[in-house]
Structure 1
Amino acid sequence: MTRSLVIKVTAGADSPERANQALTVAAAAVASGVAVSLWLTGEAAWFAVPGGSERFPALEHATPVTDLLEVVRAGGRVTLCTQCAARRGLTQDDLLEGIRIAGAPAFVEEVTTDGVQALVY
């Protein structure tokens, strides 16, 4: 059975340590060969747009979120919450390549699959 991990991150610049921790776990899981699905919700929605992660504050002793997000985009799947995108006026055309927009039904399907572990930050 393939190991899978779904991570939902709700924090962005409003809670930089929590946001960085979620992306660190996602990137570490990708590097370990785990199938990762990262969901960007709330203020984490801004990571989905070009330049969004560059505006994130640098944290001492932490890998920059830009680097972490690139690891996840390259080896996992990144999804922006439908409602979160709409509230911020974001469409698919506004997003970084490879990031999709999907809603709660897709999230529920992912987290209820056998063998999937889910984390929320």
Structure 2
Amino acid sequence: MPGKFVVSLSCAKNDTDKATVAFVIANAAVASDKETVVFLSIEGTRLSQKGYADDIHEEGFAPLKDLIANFAAAGGTIYVCSPCFKKRGLDEDKLVDGAKIVGGAKLVEFMSDGAPSVSY
């Protein structure tokens, strides 16, 4: 099933269930041969930092750090909202694999041909 898919995530430790499920869905999309982007905004940008997700493990799911690593290893891309990232004083040198700091225009460009999306 070629095509594109976007998972928009605005949560991190403030809602670990949503953060986990977002990456479960993202992994399913990339495993289905979709060019997949996870867009991290607001508090979700914190997940772009190495070590941040290490202690997040919702019952019944793989640990979030593994879901993030597996997503990147499978070819998924993580877009990190630049203004949200800067507002939180996060460190560009600590980005997880697959993460890129981008402006909103990059997400709009990716979605411009009608890519389906889900939001958490």
Q: TM-score, normalised by structure 2?
A: 0.89
Asked if 1:102 is matched to 2:102, the reply is yes
SS at match of 1:54: helix
CA deviation map 1:16-69 (0-9, x unaligned):
11111111000111122211011111221111111011032x211111111111
Question: Are the equivalent residues in 2 in contact too, given 1:36–1:72 (CA < 8 A)?
Answer: no
Question: Contact (CA 8 Å) 1:7, 1:118: kept in 2 or not?
Answer: yes
How many residue pairs were aligned? 119
Structure 1 residues 22 and 52 mapped into 2: Cα distance closer, same or farther (>3 Å)?
Answer: same
Instruction: Tell me which residue corresponds to 1:44.
Output: 44
Distance 2:19 2:76 in 1: 17
The worse-fitting range, judged by mean Cα deviation, of 9-18 and 104-113 is: 104-113
Q: Secondary structure at the match of 2:55?
A: coil
Q: Which residue of 1 aligns with 2:60?
A: 61
Residue 118 of structure 2 aligns to a residue whose secondary structure is strand
Contact 2:49–2:91 (Cα < 8 Å) also in 1: no
Unpaired segments of 5 or more residues in structure 2? Answer: none
**What's 1:80 paired with?**
80
Contact 1:49–1:96 (CA under 8 A) maintained in structure 2? yes
Q: Are 1:38 and 1:78, in contact at CA under 8 Å, matched by a contact in 2?
A: yes
User: 2:97, 2:58 → 1: CA distance?
Assistant: 26
- Shift >3 Å, 4+ stretches: none
Contact map agreement 1:4 1:36 (CA 8 A) in 2: yes
Spell out, residue by residue over 1:65-121, the C-alpha distance to the aligned partner (whole angstroms, 9 max, x if none).
11111121122111111011101112432312431100111111122224x111111
* 2:110 paired with 1:117: no
